Amino acid sequence: MSRAGGHIAVCPAGKVEPALLAAIAGGVSERFGIEAVVSMELSDLMFAHNKERNQYHSTAILEKLSETAPPSAVKVIAVTHVDLFIPILTYVHGEAQLGGRSCIISTFRLKGDERQEDYIERMKKEAVHELCHTFDLRHCKDPTCVMHFCRNAKEVDRRSDALCRYCFLMFEDKFRRLAAKEDLGLQTARRSLKDADDRPMEKVTPLRENLEEEDPMERNPGIVVDQGSKA
């Protein structure tokens, strides 16, 4: 399914229903104006599996994605149903390489007994959110902005799927730079993002979605950090 042009690769990590993958590809393609292609399945996740925790190490999956993604994939988003963790936290529902190429979203903590359409809409928003991190966007205080940090499904549902004016300006700037380097929209030979980017890939900062991800002390001095999600 690979093609020559720069695209966003939507990568099922483990078994994922085609309807969800197609919806995410459609959603991010519309939002970013780049073709999104469901490709490069990671069918075996045992390399990231932790036996004691019976969870999967999201950073390991991101590294694998960056290694194996074809250069024509300017961004890669993995979609998984498995429960993700990083060693210091109980779980994460998403992780992204800030300003890098890869990100991942997990449905495990975000799927309830809602209607299928609502769940798919929620995951589409999460996909846009994580991909924006790969465009170097950080969290936003505006609760309606898609870059607002959300702790659970309810909060994701309250959030819109669009960027606030400030984040949009930031995004435009980052996107323009990437587009200039990648000739996005032109069917020409690609350089890999690694070559095009000013920073080596290993220097990109992973950003995890979790209760602990934002520092509540910073926003509300005096409140106690919820330790519930610490390992």
Comparison of 36 and 150: residue with beta carbon closer to Zn ion: 150
- Helices H / strands E in the chain, number of each: 7, 10
Cβ(95)–Cβ(206) under 8 Å? yes
- Strand (E) positions, the chain? 7-13, 36-38, 49-50, 55-57, 73-80, 84-86, 89-92, 94-98, 102-106, 205-209
Task: Kindly tell me which of 66 and 210 has the beta carbon lying closer to Zn ion.
Answer: 210
Catalytic positions, please?
130
Q: Which residues contact 159 (CB under 8 A, 6 or more apart)?
A: 125, 143, 144, 145, 146, 148, 150
Which one, 31 or 190, has the nearer CB to Zn ion?
Answer: 31
In angstroms, what is the minimal distance from the CB of 24 to Zn ion? 16
Residues of this chain that interact with Zn ion (CB under 5 A) are: 140, 142, 145, 147, 164, 167, 209
Query: How near is the Cβ of 210 to Zn ion at its closest, in Å?
Result: 9
Buried b (16+ CB within 10 A) or exposed e, 28-48: bbebbebebbbbbebeebeeb
Nearer to Zn ion, 72 or 106 (CB): 106
Gap between the Cα atoms of 133 and 43, Å rounded: 25
Q: Give min distance, CB of 144 to Zn ion, in A.
A: 8
Cα end-to-end span (Å), the chain: 39
Rounded least distance, CB 185 to Zn ion, Å: 25
